[in-house]
Structure 1
Amino acid sequence: MKRLVSVWLPQWPIERLKRHRPGAVPDDRPCVLVAGGAHGIRITAVNVRAAREGVRAGMSLADARAAVPILVSHPAEMERDARALTRLALWLGRYGPSRNVEGEDGVWIDTTGVAHLFGGEAALMEDLVRRLAGFGITARAGLAGTPGAAFALARFATVKRSAVLAPAGEAATLAALAELPVDALRLAPETVVLLRRLGLARVGHLAALPRESLERRFASEASSRSRAGQVKAKALAEAVLVRLDQALGRTEEPRAPLGEPPVLSERRSWGEPLISSEALVSEVGLLAEDLARALKAAGLGARRIALSLYRADGTVAHADAGMARASAEAPHFLQLLDAKLSQIDAGFGIDVAVLDAVSAEPLDPEQTTLGRGGAAPEQAIAALIDRLANRLGAKNVFRLAPRASHIPEQAAMRMAPLAPFMENSGLPGAAPAERPFLLLSPPEAISVMAEVPDGPPLRFTWRRVAYAVAKAAGPERIAPEWWRQLGEAEILASDDGLDGEAIDPGQREKTRDYYVAETGDGARFWMFREGFYGAADQSGQPRWYLHGLF
């Protein structure tokens, strides 16, 4: 069952400024942050001392100074606050890999399956609040099974405690939220006012009311209004029910986690936007050199790079490339990006370019070749694989390794091109009989004429073309892997209460007899007959298939 933590930072802008500029926010004087707007300079955040003096966010600075003459003010730095909050969210990954910022003063963390590492959910939240307090950051935390419930607990249930948790389950969640004000459901201010006017001030009041009754109450409140007012009232009622369902887990509320920042990033900008493709390739080449130098200085090699090109009209073009092995070579970066650059339209020009090393790993120093040789063979192969993978798609570039199976189509498996080769992954013993260069997937049904039912083919028809067999070799008998079928029988028996032997014979794999058939003009075909004539443990007659070409 999912468990999430909502972390509320009620003093975030003030405390962020205090950490950045320790002397800017005195502890013994009221202090506020302000921002200009259409109605003059307004207060956006207050410290604890200012709040005690009655100063609130949203007040005009003039009114606040009239009431508190010793008030200290600083310009609000909302962009810096947002960037610092994102960095804090990344740091909070210690409590769960999926997390993101929540509004302007909060962070959510998915702690599913993590709490036991801290000694339980209560210990996890205690550790979180304590560590943030050590950084000089006031935090309130709520833990529940839904984002909405965790949000409500963190912001409305932490008056006396710094952390509150709701046990798992809808009933337990409702019990934890019942006494909280309806504001806790993340409703619009006008909706909260309307609910209070209807006597629904707490979440418990709202949850106890039948859904149809809530819609009727909203409609009656709007009965004297216009048609548009009634429609709006119904929409508000639906919004309330959605928020309630999200908080109680009746409706899923998807959350997008925060993407990890790049390992290294390089940026170039130009006063005159780049228009020509030649200039763009040249500048991206310089950017690749910058990133390569930074990677080498850090002892790293990139496994994936991402290029972002910011156009003068405000749009962004992206190109990325992956590498089979870590690299810190600028020519290789440019070679991988070059094909994608040719497909990018510069539009009104590109004035900023950013190249990120999205993922990287330690780059071990290695000798290439002695004398006048170029790159080592392994490096050349890796470079070729990178070019092919970025042009054809990574999933389309692979190598085959043997697998321990007699079934031809299961005797090989796909592996990453540079993955270590497993020497003993195939079957032990002698090598199998001759195999065709091409396997058909899946095998194609053919019609066959034989001298005797269980004999080799004399004639066959494939894709509406008839072939006469000059000579045939075989059969090579390949039996089904009975141990896999036995496992399936046990699964059926445990799931359905059936005897493992009572499987439909038509669903069983059948023994195959393979033949190599050669026509008069030298064409060779690999075909098999599936099943036996007159076998009691199979349904239907044996069938022929073409499986490969030599």
Structure 2
Amino acid sequence: MRETASSSGRRIMAIWLPALAIDRWQRSEGESPAPFALLAETAHGPRIAAVNAAARDAGVRAGAMLGDARALCPELAVAPGDPGGDLAFIEKLAVWAQRWGPWSALDPPDGLLVDVTGVAHLFGGEAALLADVAARLAVRGLSARPAIAPTAGAAWALAHYGPDRAILPGTGRGTILAEDGGGVRASDPNAARSGPPACTPPPSCEWSPSPYRGGMLNDLPVAALRLDPATLLVLRRLGLKRVGELSGVARDALARRFRSTRAPGANPLIRLDQLLGKVPEPLLPVVAAQLSLVQRRLMEPIRHRSLLDQVLGDLAADMARLLEGQAKGARRLELALWKVDGEVLVRKLELAAASRDAAHIARLFGGKLDDLDAGFGIELARLSAPWCEPLALSQADFEKAAEAHGTSLSACIDRLNARLGEAAVHRPQPVASHLPERAQRWVPPLEPERAVQGELAFHARPLKLLDRPEPIAVLYASPDGLPRRFSWRGQVHEIARAEGPERIAPEWWRMRGTARLRDYYRIEDREGRRYWIYRHGLASDGRGGVPEWYLQGLYA
């Protein structure tokens, strides 16, 4: 983890990709002259997430509801957005951006931070560096706004709200950042005579000899401090719309107003100190993960299954040696087979526990190759492990473990998954909820046990619950009395014994205020069959009409 501060010479470059989602779409589908927008599903319906230039010219803006956008632009074409793909793309872009500095960090959802300390001269200066960034990203179809400053906060502010390709000079030796009633200033007496920097911004931006005084940062909106929308609304109501206006307010007053919020995005003082370099801001560098991959290029195409099994065994052995050298085990494996006609056959395998047992991996993949059509032959086979976990070097062999203690649990689950499907094997796990349908959830079979918060004591509940409670018709002596007879699935059952009720209140933090109580009864009919039924609501609760009855479980 890195920390950026106002140490002498520190230079951070922020790269903002304002149209990342649209640029990615146009890279794959081609640029369209017609109005186009990407959608995001929300609780209130589809909302515009990103628009192209034609839609923007037609008045469509990101954040608008789809119905409102269609009213402005009836010919608007839409497609679902891909936030996960955008994040994966920018992660790869962060690794590629290390061509400009020793490390880079993500600034989600559409930005990067690159440490360019001491590397600008390799590109002909910081202005040439920013030009190189914009040009190389433009070649890849990405519009970008880069900026360089001594801190990550200042670089982010200039990239989002400053002039294009802005450069904020460093503090220099002996400069101490300070604040007073007259604004943010530098206390170096020689700063006023230092003159403008070599790389000046466009004439529309006022430049001050002091690095933190004047229009470069003070004239930026308070949104440049990376604050939450609620905090920005409070500052605007207080009449604080510019960064420089915060220095005109006593720091104690702001501290009292935001003393209960320690999150950086909700406290303008923390963000301001990060902007000025008084408080270090931790950044997590992106580290490229090396993909474990082995392959065999065949001298002659193969078509027979016996030869393919031999190649698969060789690949599994190569992968086992590679993972052993890395002290890792594979959790997910992908086998790609290139046919002579250019078609690529892919088979995926996910293991219940990390493993690098070659025989076990080859056996599992063998079951996935029964329906393989080799065509004119396979000329290239590649095995990769995109998901690996640390694994000690003294892993026991599956077959030896099976001989000594029977088949191991992880090997058994892997075989079941290979035969039934990756999502077919699960186990129930208790959940802290009084409602029967929410008292458990299905998890992967080898997922560690999680402690359930609080001990929930229940009455005797049936082991067999219906997937959905089924409505029944019930006769009872009084509105709140015990049931006497019920009809279920076309049959009438006379109740011989009844016990209850067990009252369960709704989960008010999940449900609406009109949710009704449940009264559960354990009943037995005259044939000795036992059921678990409940009455949904009370006659006098004022939350609906007549209470309804449901059957939810059966006793063995």
Decide which of 431, 435, 440 is 2:466's aligned counterpart.
440
Report the alpha carbon displacement of residue 542 of structure 1 after superposing the two structures with TM: 1.0
Decide which of 521, 542, 551 is 1:515's aligned counterpart.
521
TM-score normalised to the size of structure 1? 0.52
* Structure-2 change in CA distance of 1:353 and 1:471 (3 Å): same
Output the CA distance in 2 between the equivalents of 1:165 and 1:372.
57
Please give the per-residue CA displacement for 1:181-207, whole angstroms capped at 9, x wherever unaligned: xxxxxxxxxxxxxxxxxxxxxxxxxxx
1:417-432 map, 5 Å: 417-422=445-450, 424-425=451-452, 427-428=454-455, 431-432=457-458
Report the alpha carbon displacement of residue 259 of structure 1 after superposing the two structures with TM: 13
* Structure-2 change in CA distance of 1:133 and 1:358 (3 Å): farther
Counterpart of 1:126? 116
Counterpart of 2:536? 530
Report the alpha carbon displacement of residue 414 of structure 1 after superposing the two structures with TM: 3.1
Counterpart of 2:321? 293
Output the CA distance in 1 between the equivalents of 2:121 and 2:359.
45
Output the CA distance in 2 between the equivalents of 1:131 and 1:395.
54
Counterpart of 1:280? 308
* Structure-2 change in CA distance of 1:543 and 1:373 (3 Å): same
Please give the per-residue CA displacement for 1:245-296, whole angstroms capped at 9, x wherever unaligned: xxxxxxxxxxxxx997763222223223111223212321222122112222
Equivalent pairs: percent with the same residue? 35
1:407-418 map, 5 Å: 407-418=435-446
Output the CA distance in 1 between the equivalents of 2:487 and 2:335.
54
In the alignment, structure 1 segments of 5+ residues that lack a partner are 7-92, 159-163, 177-257, 489-502
Output the CA distance in 1 between the equivalents of 2:292 and 2:339.
22
Please give the per-residue CA displacement for 1:402-430, whole angstroms capped at 9, x wherever unaligned: 222212122223333222223x415426x
Counterpart of 2:481? 455
In the alignment, structure 2 segments of 5+ residues that lack a partner are 1-13, 20-86, 149-154, 168-285
Amino acid at match of 2:480: D
* Structure-2 change in CA distance of 1:132 and 1:270 (3 Å): farther
Output the CA distance in 1 between the equivalents of 2:487 and 2:146.
77
The answer to whether the aligner puts 1:97 opposite 2:91 as a matched pair is yes
Report the alpha carbon displacement of residue 313 of structure 1 after superposing the two structures with TM: 1.3
Bigger helix fraction = 1
* Structure-2 change in CA distance of 1:154 and 1:268 (3 Å): same
Counterpart of 1:112? 107
Is the 1:514–1:526 contact (alpha carbons within 8 Å) kept by the matching residues of 2?
Answer: yes
* Structure-2 change in CA distance of 1:308 and 1:471 (3 Å): same
Output the CA distance in 2 between the equivalents of 1:157 and 1:150.
19
Higher RCO by CA contacts (8 Å cutoff, separation 6 or greater): 2
The answer to whether the aligner puts 1:329 opposite 2:357 as a matched pair is yes
Output the CA distance in 2 between the equivalents of 1:151 and 1:127.
27
Amino acid at match of 2:93: R
Is the 1:405–1:411 contact (alpha carbons within 8 Å) kept by the matching residues of 2?
Answer: yes
* Structure-2 change in CA distance of 1:170 and 1:392 (3 Å): farther
Report the alpha carbon displacement of residue 305 of structure 1 after superposing the two structures with TM: 1.0
3-state SS in 1 of match to 2:312 = helix
Decide which of 496, 501, 519 is 1:470's aligned counterpart.
496
Counterpart of 2:241? none
Counterpart of 2:554? 549
3-state SS in 1 of match to 2:365 = helix
3-state SS in 1 of match to 2:448 = coil
1:37-52 map, 5 Å: none
3-state SS in 2 of match to 1:397 = coil
Report the alpha carbon displacement of residue 165 of structure 1 after superposing the two structures with TM: 9.5
Amino acid at match of 1:283: V
Report the alpha carbon displacement of residue 127 of structure 1 after superposing the two structures with TM: 3.9
Q: Which has the larger radius of gyration?
A: 1
* Structure-2 change in CA distance of 1:106 and 1:368 (3 Å): closer
* Structure-2 change in CA distance of 1:321 and 1:548 (3 Å): same
Amino acid at match of 2:389: E
Counterpart of 1:191? none
What RMSD, in angstroms, separates the aligned Cα atoms of the two structures? Answer: 4.9
The answer to whether the aligner puts 1:3 opposite 2:16 as a matched pair is yes
Report the alpha carbon displacement of residue 438 of structure 1 after superposing the two structures with TM: 2.2
Output the CA distance in 2 between the equivalents of 1:3 and 1:157.
9
Report the alpha carbon displacement of residue 544 of structure 1 after superposing the two structures with TM: 0.8
* Structure-2 change in CA distance of 1:547 and 1:141 (3 Å): farther
The answer to whether the aligner puts 1:386 opposite 2:411 as a matched pair is no
Report the alpha carbon displacement of residue 543 of structure 1 after superposing the two structures with TM: 0.9
* Structure-2 change in CA distance of 1:546 and 1:425 (3 Å): same
Is the 1:129–1:140 contact (alpha carbons within 8 Å) kept by the matching residues of 2?
Answer: no
Report the alpha carbon displacement of residue 308 of structure 1 after superposing the two structures with TM: 0.8
